[in-house]
Every structure is written in structure tokens, then in C-alpha cells.
Structure 1
Amino acid sequence: MADIKRIETNARMSEAVICNGIVWLAGQIGAEGASATEQTKAALAEVDRLLAAAGTDKTKLLSTQIWLADMADFAEMNAVWDAWVAPGHTPARATGEAKLAGPGYKVEIIVTAAL
């Protein structure tokens, strides 16, 4: 049986789950109503924090899903992403448009990383 570790668990979800040397993060968001730039910065700061809590970092990213409420924010989000992502360690990535949890949310980022 695999050993499973959960980080910041509540009744609905865990912010991160670790199993077999892989860490999965829940979707990370910024403050509702902030710009796409600020939401992306905040979401990536949470990714950094949670990866550190799991014992890894962004150089170990395997895959990323980025959801935008409006693809018009793609370039704005990418400017923040490009400044954040570790050169030479870019993950497989998909970006799509989706209705997010609230009307003021513009960006949600989900990552999977190796330990």
C-alpha cells in the first residue's frame, strides 16, 4: 500500500498530496478582483510555498494546467509565468479558458512535481 501524505487538509480538499515521489497541488488562485498579473503572481507564490512544504521546488515541475477566465489575459499571465519558471526546467503545460469559481477570478494554476 502506498504511503500518502496530505498537506493543509480540510473537509473538502487538500492543498497538496504526496505519493510515490510525486506531489499534486490543488488549483492556486490570487485575490478575487485583482488583475491577471497580480492573480498569477499570487498563485505562483502559493505554488512555491506548497512545493517547499512538500520538500521540492519549481525545478521539479512535471506538468502544469493553467485556467484563464478569459483568454484575453493569456499574454499578461505568460509575462508573469515566463519570469517565474526556472529556465531549463519548464514543465509540460496546457492553458485553457474556463469559468472559474467566482466572477472576479481570472487565473487558476495547478501543478504536479517530483520530489
Structure 2
Amino acid sequence: MSDIERHGVTARYADAVVHAGVIHLVEVPASSGTDIRTQTSEVLASIERQLRLLGSAPNRILMATIYLTDFADYGAMNALWDAWIPSGSAPARACVKVAGLVDPGWRIEIALSAACGAGHVEPGER
């Protein structure tokens, strides 16, 4: 039995990978070509869903790297992020401007790691 759990595995990536009590995941918007508020909301909702499925939550995020294609979106993205992260539980975070993302209509991508919670779900129990 492997000590690495992979959830939502495809040939190229997994939706989430868990190892040593830490969840690793990357989320992108569900829509393409929409504004930063829509895309940020989609990404944060997807992250929260993944974390909850794995027995974690936004207040357990350890590190986040946010990729933006335009720093003009920084303020709007931060307003949504700040409202989403529970007070007093901000993770270590980096925000990087990139030339582009895989889908030219995406404005944001977030990669993060989070601590598993007491309610961690083992593979096959979802």
C-alpha cells in the first residue's frame, strides 16, 4: 500500500495528492474568458470543495501560490481571497504574474498545500 494518496487521477494529473498529512492541489477556473471576480470565485469554491472532501478546510491552508495573468486583477482577487480566508488563518502566500496559462481565457490559477484535518477521508471512502 502506498503512503501517497491520489484522488481524481487522470493520465496527466491528479485533482489532489495527499502525503504525510498534507494535501497538495491546483485549481483553475471553470469558465474561460470571464472576469477575475467570476474566475476567482470559481477557483476558491473548487478549492473549498476539494479540501472538504479530504477532511480539511480553508483555515488549514499552509501555503498558496497564486498565478495571475494581469496584475490589474490583483485588487479584485485579493478582496475575494480576504473574505474567503478565515480571520487569523492566512497561509504563507506568493502571487506571481505569468505571461499566460494553459487556457488563454483563464486569468488565475492557484496551487496550494493544506494540512489534513481529523476528518480526513481515506481513498475509496468518498
TM-score (norm 2): 0.86
Aligned residues of 1:29 and 1:40 also touching (Cα < 8 A): yes
**1:104 correspondence with 2:105:** yes
Shift of the alpha carbon at 1:70?
0.6
Aligned pair count reads 115
Shift of the alpha carbon at 1:2?
6.0
Which of structure 1's runs of 4+ aligned residues deviate more than 6 A? none
More strand by share: 1
The RMSD of aligned alpha carbons is 1.3
Which residue is 1:68 aligned to? 68
> 1:22-76 CA deviation, whole Å, 9 max, x = no partner?
0000233241111100000000000001111111111111000000011111001
TM-score (norm 1): 0.94
Give the greater-gyration-radius structure (CA). Answer: 2
Gap runs ≥5 in structure 2: 117-126
**1:21 correspondence with 2:29:** no
Q: Distance in 1 between matches of 2:101 and 2:17?
A: 22
Aligned residues of 1:37 and 1:76 also touching (Cα < 8 A): yes
**1:47 correspondence with 2:59:** no
Q: Distance in 2 between matches of 1:71 and 1:101?
A: 18
Gap runs ≥5 in structure 1: none
Structure 1 counterpart SS, 2:87: coil
% same residue? 37
